A = this chain, B = another copy of it.
Amino acid sequence: MKILDTINALQNWRKSIAHDKSVGIVPTMGALHDGHRSLIARCRRENDICVVSIFVNPTQFNDPNDLATYPVTFEEDRAICEAEGVDAIFMPQYGDLYPDDYRYRVSEDRESCLLCGAHRPGHFDGVLSVVMKLFNLAQPRRAYFGEKDWQQLQLVKGMVDAFFMPVSVVACPTVRETDDLALSSRNRRLTSDHRKKAARFPHLLSTDASAAEVARLLKTDGFEVDYVEDFRGRRCAAIHCGGVRLIDNLPAPKTEDR
C-alpha cells in the first residue's frame, strides 16, 4: 500500500496506472470506522484500484472547536486500509490542496443553504471544493459516499452533473451500531453516558410522528436540536449530544413527504 503525501506523489502514481484500469476513490477525513470499511470494500469490488484520501478539510468546518477536536487516528486508519486491501492512501496537507488559499471555490446556491447548510454557513462550499480537487487529482471512475451524509451526497452528485465530471458517484447505505446509532467519526467524542443516550436519536427519527413532534421529543430528551425536516422524501436531522454534533436521515413517513 502506497502512502501518497504530496500532490506530485499522487499525480505520478496516477500516471503509472494504465488507461484501461478503473480507479475508485473513497474520500474521508480519517478516523475510519465500519462505515468507511463498507465504502472501501465496495470500492475494491467494483474497481481495479482503490485509493482512500484522508484529509481533515478545514474549509468545511464553520466551527473552529469542531475542527480542533475532530478525531485523528492515522495509525489505526493505515492499519484498516491495509487490512481492507487499499492500494494507496492520499494524505495531503492544507497547502498542497489549497495552493490558492481557497480563493477559488465551488458553490451551490439553493439546496446548500437548507438543512445542515442553514446551520453550518459555508460548509458545503468547502465540501464541494475539496471533492472537486480530489476528483481532478485522482481521476477516479467511481467515488464512494455514505448515505449518512445525505445532503452532502445529493450536492456532490449535483456538482458532478452540473460540471460534467467524468466520475460516477456511488451512494452506500448508512452503517449502524446494534442500537441503530449511525456510525460517525464524531461518535468517539461521546462520553459513555451520552453514547447510550444517543441511541434515542435514530429511534425517535424512525417513528411515524411528524418532524415537528420528533424535534419536540428530542428536546424533551435533552438534546439540542438543529433541525428535523422532511425533504424530498427523506427525514433529515441534526442534533447536539453532550457537545457533539450528530446527523442522521431515514426515508420520511409517507404522510410527511413534501
Contacts and interface: CB of A to CB of B under 8 A. Distances in A.
B162 A103 contact: yes
Interface in A93-119: 98-100, 103-111
Nearest to A109: B103
Given A100-B162, A137-B164, 11 more contacts: A100-B158, A103-B109, A103-B110, A103-B162, A104-B108, A104-B159, A104-B163, A105-B109, A132-B163, A133-B162, A133-B164
A161 interface: yes
Contact of A107 (B105, B161, B166): B105
Contacts of A19: 19
A162 B104 contact: yes
Report the contact-size class of chain A (Cβ under 8 Å from the partner): 20 to 34
Interface of A: 7, 19, 98-100, 103-111, 128, 132-133, 136-137, 139, 158-159, 161-166
B162 A139 contact: no
A7 B166 CA distance: 13
A122 to B, nearest CB: 12
Contacts of A104: 106-108, 128, 158-159, 162-163
A231 to B, nearest CB: 16
A11 to B, nearest CB: 8
Given A7-B164, A19-B19, A164-B7, A103 B133 contact: no
Nearest to A97: B164
